[in-house]
A = this chain, B = another copy of it.
C-alpha cells in the first residue's frame, strides 16, 4: 500500500466534490465551524457504557501535520472523470487545492485526551475555511471514533477488574488490519497496564509483555519431548520472567503439576516464578483449583493469568464465581482475586457488541459578513436535531466535588459569572433544573490544540492515563455501573436553548 492511501486522500470522495462546489460559488474560504460529537454511549447489548473516554486526538494532530495535497495527490484528482468523460475537477480548483489543500487555516478546540466524555458534547470544534474544514471530516471521524470506542471499552474492563488488577492487552492479532496500533494505544489509555504489541508499546515508552503460546509446547511434543521439557526450557531462558501456559495438554493433570515442578527448580536456583496462564475452559473453576495446587506447593504469590474472550461481564462473572466457589475448595477468594492477571484481546480491541462509535462531524455555524450564523439540521427525531452555533463546553462539579453535568453555552457566555444557572435538557422542553453556581465548580473543557499548526505537543501516555483515572473517580457510582448505568446530564444554557428553539420554529414555519 502506498503512502498515498494514508495521507490526505484518506477521505470520502464527496468531501472533494463538495469543496469544488464551494469553490465555484466563492464560499470555500468562508469561515465555518464544525463539531465532532457522538450521539449515544456504546450499547453492547446486555450491557451499556455510562460514559465515554476521549482518545485519538494526538494521532489525529500528527496526521494533520503532514496530510496535504502534493503533486501525486493532485494527479489522482486530475484523473477523475465525470460520467460524460470530462475532468471531474477543474484546473483552477486543483490549483487552489495545491496551495490550500491542507489544514493550515484551521483552529481546533478540543477536550483533553483521556478525559471522561458524554454524548452530545462537542469533543472537538473545528473552525476555518469551509473547504478545509470539510476536508478534515473523514480522517477525523476515522481516528477519533475508533480510539474513543476502544478506550471506553478498556475503561469498563478496568472497572470490572478493579483498580489493582493487572490487565494485559493481547488484541493485536484480532484487531482490524492496520488498526492494531491504534487499538493498543487506546487500550493503554483506558485501563490496560501493558500490551503484547512490541512496536507500539515501545513507541509509547513501555516494554511489551507476554507469556508463550501453545505452539511452543506442541513443537516440543512433536520433537519427542513433552510439556515439562518445554516449561523447563522456557524457565531456563527466562528465570526471572517465567509465566507458563498450562492448558496445552490437560490443566489439572499435566499443566499445573509440570509448572510446579519447574517453579520448584527455579526457586532452588534463587529465582521467583511469576505465573501460570489459563487460556481455555471454566476459568473461574480452574483458577480456584490452580490456586489450591499452587498454594499447597508454596507458590501463593504466583500470578494466575486468565485469557480467552474476556470482557467486562466475563471478568465480573469470574469474580462472582470465585467468591462463591473458592471457599468450598479452601481457597481464600480475595487472595485469589488479587493474584489474577487478565489477558484481554478480541473483545476489547473490537469493542465487541458495539464495534463502531456513532460519532459525527456536523457544521453548526458559518461566518457571513464577520458574523457567525448558526446552522441546524432538522431530522425526523427531535433528539437528532443539532445544537446550533458557536459554543463553549463546561463541566459542573457539585458540592461533593463529583461531576454532575456537562453544560453547553453560547461562546460569549461565562456561566462562572452567574449566581444561578438553568440547565435545560437538550431536546425535551420543560425538563430543566436550577443550579446555585456558588456551591459548584465550573471547568471549561475545551482548549486550543491546533492553530494553523499543532499547539499541543504529544503527551506522555502516563499523563493521559492519570487524567482518565482521575476523571473516572469523579463520576457518580451510578454512572460507572456496568449495566443500565445512570444517565449523566448534558444540558444547554438558557440562551443556547432559546437559539435552538427559535431556529427549529423558523425552519418549521418556513415550509
Give the residues from 1 to 47 in chain A that come closer than 8 angstroms, CB to CB, to chain B: 1-2, 4-7, 9-18, 20-22, 24-25, 27, 30, 32, 34
Q: Looking across the interface, which residue of chain B has its beta carbon closest to that of A362? A: B215
- Choose among B80, B177, B380 the residue that contacts A147 (Cβ–Cβ < 8 A): B177
Chain B neighbourhood of A507, CB < 8 A: 249
Chain B neighbourhood of A180, CB < 8 A: 10, 142, 178
- Choose among B18, B81, B355, B379 the residue that contacts A215 (Cβ–Cβ < 8 A): B18
A379 CB to nearest chain B CB (Å): 6
Number of copies: 2
A237 close to B5 (CB less than 8 A):
no
Indicate whether A172 sits within 8 Å of B142 (C-beta atoms), given known contacts A12-B196, A202-B76.
Answer: yes
B179 close to A177 (CB less than 8 A):
yes
Which residue of A134, A210, A365 has the most chain B CB atoms within 10 A of its CB atom?
A210
Chain B neighbourhood of A27, CB < 8 A: 219, 223
A356 close to B146 (CB less than 8 A):
no
Docked Cα-Cα span, A373 to B223, in Å, equals: 7
Docked Cα-Cα span, A218 to B18, in Å, equals: 12
Chain B neighbourhood of A368, CB < 8 A: 222-224
- Choose among B173, B211, B366 the residue that contacts A222 (Cβ–Cβ < 8 A): B366
A182 close to B174 (CB less than 8 A):
no
Docked Cα-Cα span, A15 to B197, in Å, equals: 10
Indicate whether A212 sits within 8 Å of B17 (C-beta atoms), given known contacts A1-B181, A219-B363, A241-B83.
Answer: yes
A 234-264 to B, binary, CB cutoff 8 A, 1 in contact else 0 = 1011101100000111100110000000000
- Choose among B81, B84, B375 the residue that contacts A221 (Cβ–Cβ < 8 A): B375
Chain B neighbourhood of A253, CB < 8 A: 511
A-B contact pairs, 18 of them (CB 8 A): A1-B62, A6-B199, A10-B172, A11-B199, A13-B209, A21-B238, A27-B223, A56-B177, A80-B207, A137-B173, A138-B172, A176-B182, A177-B179, A214-B377, A218-B377, A222-B373, A253-B511, A280-B379
- Choose among B134, B281, B511 the residue that contacts A380 (Cβ–Cβ < 8 A): B281
- Choose among B12, B14, B196 the residue that contacts A13 (Cβ–Cβ < 8 A): B196
Would you call A452 an interface residue if the criterion is a C-beta within 8 Å of the partner chain's C-beta atoms?
no
Which of A346-354, A415-423, A427-435 forms part of the interface with chain B? A346-354
Docked Cα-Cα span, A306 to B5, in Å, equals: 27
- Choose among B215, B222, B224, B374 the residue that contacts A134 (Cβ–Cβ < 8 A): B215
Give the residues from 159 to 184 in chain A that come closer than 8 angstroms, CB to CB, to chain B: 170, 172-183
A 337-374 to B, binary, CB cutoff 8 A, 1 in contact else 0 = 00000000010001110011100011101101000011
Docked Cα-Cα span, A147 to B176, in Å, equals: 8
Docked Cα-Cα span, A494 to B242, in Å, equals: 41
Indicate whether A182 sits within 8 Å of B178 (C-beta atoms), given known contacts A17-B212, A21-B234, A208-B13.
Answer: yes
Question: Knowing that A21-B216, A177-B182 are A-B contacts, what are 9 other residue pairs whose CB atoms are under 8 Å apart, sorted by A's residue number?
Answer: A1-B181, A4-B199, A10-B199, A14-B212, A24-B237, A174-B356, A218-B362, A224-B368, A250-B511
Indicate whether A177 sits within 8 Å of B143 (C-beta atoms), given known contacts A241-B82, A350-B356.
Answer: yes
A218 CB to nearest chain B CB (Å): 4
Would you call A141 an interface residue if the criterion is a C-beta within 8 Å of the partner chain's C-beta atoms?
yes
Chain B neighbourhood of A86, CB < 8 A: 240
A193 CB to nearest chain B CB (Å): 14
**How many A residues have CB within 8 A of the partner chain?**
124
Docked Cα-Cα span, A98 to B174, in Å, equals: 28
Docked Cα-Cα span, A203 to B72, in Å, equals: 12
Chain B neighbourhood of A248, CB < 8 A: 377
Q: Looking across the interface, which residue of chain B has its beta carbon closest to that of A350? A: B355
B1 close to A59 (CB less than 8 A):
yes
Would you call A313 an interface residue if the criterion is a C-beta within 8 Å of the partner chain's C-beta atoms?
no
Docked Cα-Cα span, A363 to B218, in Å, equals: 7
Would you call A335 an interface residue if the criterion is a C-beta within 8 Å of the partner chain's C-beta atoms?
no
Would you call A474 an interface residue if the criterion is a C-beta within 8 Å of the partner chain's C-beta atoms?
no
Would you call A297 an interface residue if the criterion is a C-beta within 8 Å of the partner chain's C-beta atoms?
no
A356 CB to nearest chain B CB (Å): 4
- Counting from the closest, the 5 A-B pairs by CB-CB distance are A9-B199, A176-B179, A13-B210, A355-B355, A14-B210
Would you call A439 an interface residue if the criterion is a C-beta within 8 Å of the partner chain's C-beta atoms?
no
B134 close to A81 (CB less than 8 A):
no
Indicate whether A145 sits within 8 Å of B172 (C-beta atoms), given known contacts A10-B180, A21-B234, A219-B32.
Answer: no
